Amino acid sequence: MMETNAAQLQQWQQVGWLRPLDVSFANLLLEQESEPSPWLAMLAALASYQLGRGQVSLNLASLLQNPTFCLQFPRPRTAMNTVVEPTSPEAVFANTSLHDVIAVLQKSRAVSVVHDSSETDSTAPLVLQQERLYLRRYWRYQQGIKTRLQVLAKQREVNKPALQQVLKDLFGNSAGDGDKLNWQKLACANTLRSGFSVITGGPGTGKTYTVVRLLATLQQLSMAEGGSERILLAAPTGKAAARMTESVRSELNQLTINDSVKQSIDANAVTLHRLLGAKPGSRGFKHHADNPLLVDTLIIDEASMVDVEMMAFVVDALPGHARLILLGDKDQLASVEAGAVLGELCAGADTGGYNSNTVQWLEQVTGESIPAVYTDSAFELSAYTKPDANPYLQHIVMLRESRRFDGQSGIGKLATEVNGMRTAWLQQWLQGNAPAADEPAELYRRIQYLSNTHPTDADFRSLVQNGLADFMARVAKRPGGDSKASCDQWAEQVLDAFSQFQVLCAVRDGEWGTKALNELISQWATAASGSADSGSGSSDHWYLGRPVMITRNDYGLDLRNGDIGIMLLHTPTNTRRVAFLSNAAAANASKMRWVLPSRLTHVETVYAMTVHKSQGSEFRHTVLVLPEHDTPVLTKELLYTGITRAREQFTLVAPQSKVLLDAVQRQVERG
């Protein structure tokens, strides 16, 4: 082993590889050791670092096999215009065996060694389980989720004849698409089979269509037995909750069912924090195992954004009889915080992997015939007897047919190639080559590539200004009168126009990051509008037409993290206010909210937003900009998420095509 010490940790902190928190945590553990080990400090610091980048644990085997890939340190920071050359991870871990590392950890008082998933009485801050090193709190979160899901996943009794009739009424006898399976019908049925299920699928695959019919199914079955299902809808962010509410209401209005059933369905979704009852200044919640939620079925949308800590709190707050249903796209970016719960649960879901019991049950209640390719008989039996085989495949239905994208052309083709981590077709597209003879050329006009450019170049400026032209025209076209109705209508049109075009960034810092681009585009926008009071056009100024995003839930103003508003002249009062679409549930409530800018404390300009912030949204034209240099944050999941935010038009801005090709072959590895 190479001798590591405090100086090594300080060096890595100096170049931005480790956070001060990581080094402080390591030093704290060393102070409590009777025989301090520099290797304990290094591994503790790296476990903390991995948590900061979304990893629940430090994979020791992966660390020693390929330290650079495992840690994915960013480019070293510069000091006084000089790049500090730190000792590489390869040099630090050269000639180090897994046996030696584990031996060091086993001797430490700071580490509890666990051989299975059972809890221990130890209060040691680190947990070593097989080849993974955890911070104890996150090990407990992960074990708590596994234990609770095992109980929920047990098969439940269901009135099959009643379910068959309800499914027939809601979905018909067949898929309606020739010989294709009705995956929506299968998904709806599968949720009734146990207390835990997942419905996953990409954009346009019918998740909302399915969940509304699921709501109707649950209520009809419950009401037939003289009861009423207590169903709660939730999402990880305010923006996602509002979108879920809107989409469920819209789909519910189009559904032809008994009025009493329709009226029993509450389409209002809330954030998970509000659902559990957040306590100010505390990590805890009002609802937990000793004070569970009053719910029969909990449905969580955009589940890919739920981190391991929040999921642990959710399952802990469920009563014993409740049913948990997760919705989301398993291929999207995981949560910003630690863990990739949905992705891990859905590992292998593309193959189906249904056993004979699942197939028999689903075919009996749905009338669908599941092809052998989606059953475990299509694979070697040994693949399902490995210790790491996914035990949740029987509870997952993947919606596979997109009504929005054609997977063989345009946006759909681009997303499919990126998600499959394939580069051959991408290289042809990046070089501007025409599609093959059997590919529809007109659809490729919907995906464009802008290369070898700089943010200040004319082609990029023209792209952005053309995209914002309708929005800016509507901002300038104020209503003729000063009535509240006309002002609200105008503001709604402005917000709608703004939602048609969006610049997405992979990073916040740098010339292709959100900070720099928002300031630059603000200058272009105010210059084009001729705003006399816009100052420099900086994002610090409340100029007319400034688009802003709420960055923290404000329950006092009923504004949620992710809500977007536009600074406009409120003509009835002749004052400048920020217009937001209302979150009010009442049918007769005003569609608009007008808020004085002085009351908004957590906002940022949003001509450009990060891909993470865009999850749960869609735009007619999406522009995804990549940084000039590669960075660990660039993964195929980030690219896929950015591409699939586009509804009709997608433009990629990549100064270096190699950055894109490298990112396509990098996958988020969490665990």
What would the pLDDT profile of 64-82 be if each residue is shown by its tens digit?
Answer: 988 887 887 877 776 555 5
The Cα–Cα gap between 439 and 410 comes to 10
Residue 10: pLDDT over 80: yes
pLDDT score at 487: 92
Helix (H) / strand (E) containing 197: strand 196-201
- Evaluate whether 265 touches 223 at the Cβ level (below 8 Å): no
Domains 154-399 and 410-528+539-585+594-665 belong to one CATH topology:
yes
pLDDT of residue 388: 46
With contact defined as beta carbons under 8 Å apart, do 444 and 438 qualify? no
Q: Which helix (H) or strand (E) holds 235?
A: strand 231-235
Lowest mean pLDDT among 56-65, 431-440, 628-637: 431-440
Whether the predicted pLDDT of 179 surpasses 60? no
Find out whether 126 and 30 touch, Cβ atoms under 8 Å: no
pTM for this prediction: 0.83
More confident residue, 323 or 615: 323
Confidence of residue 586 (pLDDT cuts 50, 70, 90): very low
- Judged against a pLDDT cut of 50, whether residue 262 lies above it is answered with yes
**Mean pLDDT along residues 400-425:** 79
Contact 222, 159 (CB under 8 A): no
Is 343 labeled as ligand-binding?
no
Confidence class for position 183, pLDDT limits 50, 70, 90: very high
- pLDDT confidence of 409, banded at 50, 70, 90? low
Q: Is 208 assigned to a binding site?
A: yes
* Averaged pLDDT score across all residues of the chain: 83
- Partners of 327 in the beta sheet? 199
Tens digits of residue pLDDT in 349-405 = 888 888 889 999 999 999 888 888 888 766 554 444 443 467 889 999 999 877 766
* Tokens at 120, concatenated: 């221990």
- Whether pLDDT at 452 is above 80: no
Task: Name the nearest CA neighbour of 241 among 327, 160, 166.
Answer: 327
Is residue 605 a known part of a binding site?
no
CATH number of 1-135: 1.10.10.1020
For the chain, give every domain's residue range: 1-135, 154-399, 410-528+539-585+594-665
What is the pLDDT, as a whole number, of residue 583? 61
* For the chain, percent of residues with pLDDT exceeding 70: 87
Query: How many residues are there in the chain?
Result: 671
Using CA atoms, how far apart are residues 48 and 57, in angstroms rounded to an integer?
A: 9
Average pLDDT over residues 229-247: 87
**What number is the average pLDDT over the span 248-264?**
85
pLDDT of 670 reads 59
The span from the CA of 368 to the CA of 515, in Å, is 51
Cβ(653)–Cβ(450) below 8 Å: yes
Task: Give residue 625's pLDDT.
Answer: 94
Question: What is d(CA 283, CA 281) in angstroms, rounded to the nearest whole number?
Answer: 7
Mean pLDDT of 178-201: 88
Among 290-299, 348-357, 622-631, 661-670, the minimum mean pLDDT is found in 661-670
- End-to-end, the C-alpha distance of the chain in Å comes to 26
Contact 592, 568 (CB under 8 A): no
Distance between CA atoms of 591 and 582, rounded to whole angstroms?
A: 5
Average pLDDT over residues 565-571: 92
Distance CA 557, CA 476 (A): 27
142-153 tens-digit pLDDT: 889 998 999 998
**171 pLDDT band (50/70/90 cuts)?**
confident
Task: Dihedral sign for Cα 510, 514, 517, 520, please.
Answer: negative
Q: Where are the alpha helices (DSSP H) in 477-531?
A: 484-498, 514-529
Say if residue 178 carries a ligand binding annotation: no
Helix or strand run (H / E) with residue 503:
strand 501-505
**Average pLDDT estimate for 432-455:** 68
Per-residue pLDDT at 528 exceeds 70:
no
- Helix, strand, coil percent values for the chain (each to nearest 5): 40, 15, 40
Is the CB of residue 465 less than 8 Å from the CB of residue 458? Answer: no
pLDDT higher than 90, residue 565: yes
Q: What is the pLDDT of residues 419-432, one digit of tens each?
A: 888 888 888 888 87
pLDDT in the model for residue 554: 79
Q: What proportion of the chain, given as a percentage, has pLDDT over 90?
A: 31
The fold adopted by the segment(s) 410-528+539-585+594-665 is: Rossmann fold (3.40.50)
Yes or no: domain 154-399 corresponds to CATH 3.40.50.300 = yes
Check whether 6 has a pLDDT greater than 80.
Answer: no
Residue 332 φ/ψ, nearest 5 degrees: -75, 170
Has 204 been labeled as part of a binding site?
yes
Q: Tokens 């300031």: give the residue.
A: 519
* Cα–Cα distance for residue pair 477/134, rounded to 1 Å: 57
